[in-house]
Homo-oligomer: A and B are copies of this chain.
Amino acid sequence: MNKTFTLKNVFVEGTASVVGPSEGAGPLGDLFDVILPDDIYGESSFEKAERKMLLESLSLCLKKYNYRPEDFDLILAGDLLNQLISANFAVRDLNIPFAGVFGACSTFNLSIGLGSLLVEAGYVDRVIAGACSHHQTAERTFRFPTELGVQRKATATWTMSGAGSVILSRQGLVKVKEITFGRVVDYGLKDTNNLGAVMAPAAFDTLKRHLQNLGKKPEDYDLIATGDLGSVGQIMLKHLLGDASLDAGNLTDCGLLVYASTQDKHAGASGCAASACVFSSYFYPLLCQGQLKNVLLLATGALFAQITAQQKDSIPAVAHAIAFEKVE
């Protein structure tokens, strides 16, 4: 049983999000700060468009809350691409010391978790944390270039395009209350077209430890939001919770909130942006307004690369849990 960190003095001071056109056309479309007109965003490659989204979400976050880059001693960010190129390239224009973090699609929570602990300890007054993903770059990194027109499996999620950023500081309406870092869990699954199933055991492992460490029940949260289990992974998590006699009534999944069923996105949205954008533009405002009292964000990540799939490796997964609470 590893530790859950309970914090007293860290708040989400603000958030910003940037999403692609498909995400903007979904049910949460009105809530995002910026919606791209197209996937390429005036750049010469999708990779450059992805890093531009991240930079824009970070810059917008600074602007919305009247900060300059020099007000920050650390930025924590990551993405899905090889060698974290989106984050590495995006932050070079900000001139803020940088810690690159990687937890695949759980990266947003990893950056918030580590960043919050540094603010809580008083090392820094505030940090900025962010994560991004892009459908087109993820397809060619992990699956097939979309130009090939390979048919998608029904169990596959759709890596969403977007970037979300948060400012963590000692002031705000929403407290970062609890953090449980995930262990790497590998159930031996190998299907890269069913990552929900791969990640469900990791979500369960972290959720169970989080609840046990705190002596809490799932119903103590208004909402437990997994990152991007999608429709298939969510069913599996519900089974695992049921077997452990844990209530799954308030379970939702960020990935299942992004697209309308008419958008033909199969098992739902995935990618670092799923938890990052849905938290930043949907849960966070609901918490600020008091419509949600507390949310456990349980971001999930499948930790594979093209070469591990080619070498017939199974797919390890991880989930990091962060509980956010409306300040009374």
How many copies the complex holds: the figure is 2
Q: Is A204 an interface residue (CB 8 A)?
A: no
Which of the residues B70, B118, B304 comes within 8 Å of A83, measured between beta carbons?
Answer: B304
- Contact of B318 with A85 in the complex, beta carbons under 8 Å: no
* A182 CB contact (under 8 Å) in B48, B97, B183: B97
Q: Evaluate contact between B98 and A183: CB separation under 8 angstroms.
A: yes
What is the number of residues of chain A that contact chain B, defined by CB distance less than 8 Å? Answer: 59
Among B98, B102, B113, B118, point to the contact of A184 (Cβ < 8 A): B98
Measured between beta carbons, the chain B residues less than 8 angstroms from A5 are: 123
Kindly state the separation between the CA atoms of A307 and B121 in the bound complex, as whole angstroms: 38
Q: Is the CB of A311 within 8 A of B182?
A: no
With known contacts A99-B110, A120-B121, A184–B91 Cβ distance under 8 A: yes
Bound-state Cα–Cα, A3 to B123, Å: 9
Residue among B47, B70, B84 making CB contact with A311, cutoff 8 Å: B47
Among A57-65, A72-80, A216-224, A291-299, the stretch that binds chain B is A72-80
| Given A2-B96, A92-B184, A185-B92, A307 contacting B44 (CB threshold 8 A) | no
A250 at the interface (CB under 8 A from B): no
Tell yes or no: A306 within 8 A of B by CB: yes
**A81 CB-CB contact with B under 8 Å:** yes
Question: In the complex, what residue of chain B is closest to A73 when comparing beta carbons?
Answer: B3
Task: Report the bound CA distance from A70 to B1 in whole Å.
Answer: 8
Query: Which of B88, B181, B307 is within 8 Å of A99, CB to CB?
Result: B181
* Nearest chain B CB to A139 CB, angstrom units: 13
* Distance in angstroms between the alpha carbons of A311 and B48 in the assembled complex: 9
Given A88-B318, A99-B110, 6 further pairs, Cβ under 8 A: A44-B311, A82-B82, A89-B308, A92-B316, A96-B183, A97-B180
